[in-house]
């Protein structure tokens, strides 16, 4: 398998003010687990788990700030958006999410950026 450069990745959403300024995104998909470890007569006891049936997804994306895009976009935290994350390979991840926090930052030796953290709500479609 050949490695793929991240130069063509993308994040987009319906209100789309930051999407041209996005330079990185991260997606976390997780499945919970239930401990079903049984008693054992002698140590050591090895833990056993089964899936709990609850799947969730969340992540973040980073954007450059400029003089035309306000920090209140993509939407105020808590507003549901339809988010599309696209990998360089063309694989897409689409679902409804809400921004849980926005973290603008400024440094004397770097461009101004904002990190937007999001929580998925409902199914994530992977194509």
Q: Which CATH number fits domain 10-126: 1.10.150, 2.40.30, 2.60.120, 1.10.357?
A: 2.40.30
Report which of 64, 86, 80, 55 is spatially closest to residue 17, judged by C-alpha positions: 64
User: Rounded to whole angstroms, how far apart are CA atoms 23 and 108?
Assistant: 20
- Going by DSSP bridges, is the β-strand pair 80-86/92-107 parallel, antiparallel, or unpaired? antiparallel
Determine the Cα–Cα distance for residues 104 and 17; give it in Å rounded to an integer: 15
Across the chain, mean pLDDT equals: 81
26-76 pLDDT per residue, tens: 999 999 999 999 887 777 888 899 999 888 999 998 888 877 655 545 556
Residue 3: band (very low, low, confident or very high) from pLDDT cuts 50, 70, 90? low
Whole-number Å distance between alpha carbons of 80 and 96: 6
Q: Which residue has the higher pLDDT, 125 or 127?
A: 125
pLDDT at 126 over 60: yes
**Collapsing DSSP states into helix, strand and coil, what is residue 19?**
helix
Q: Where are the domains of the chain?
A: 10-126
pTM: 0.76
């Amino acid at each position: 398998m050949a490695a793929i450069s991240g130069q063509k990745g993308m994040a987009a959403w319906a209100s789309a003010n930051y999407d041209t300024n996005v330079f990185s995104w991260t997606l976390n998909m997780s499945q919970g687990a239930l401990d079903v470890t049984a008693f054992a007569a002698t140590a050591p006891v090895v833990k056993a788990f089964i899936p709990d049936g609850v799947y969730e997804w969340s992540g973040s994306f980073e954007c450059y700030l400029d003089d035309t895009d306000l920090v209140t976009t993509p939407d105020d935290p808590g507003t549901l958006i339809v988010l599309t994350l696209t990998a360089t390979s063309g694989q897409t991840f689409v679902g409804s999410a809400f921004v849980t926090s926005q973290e603008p930052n400024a440094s004397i030796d770097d461009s101004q950026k904002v990190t937007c953290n999001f929580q998925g709500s409902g199914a994530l479609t992977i194509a």
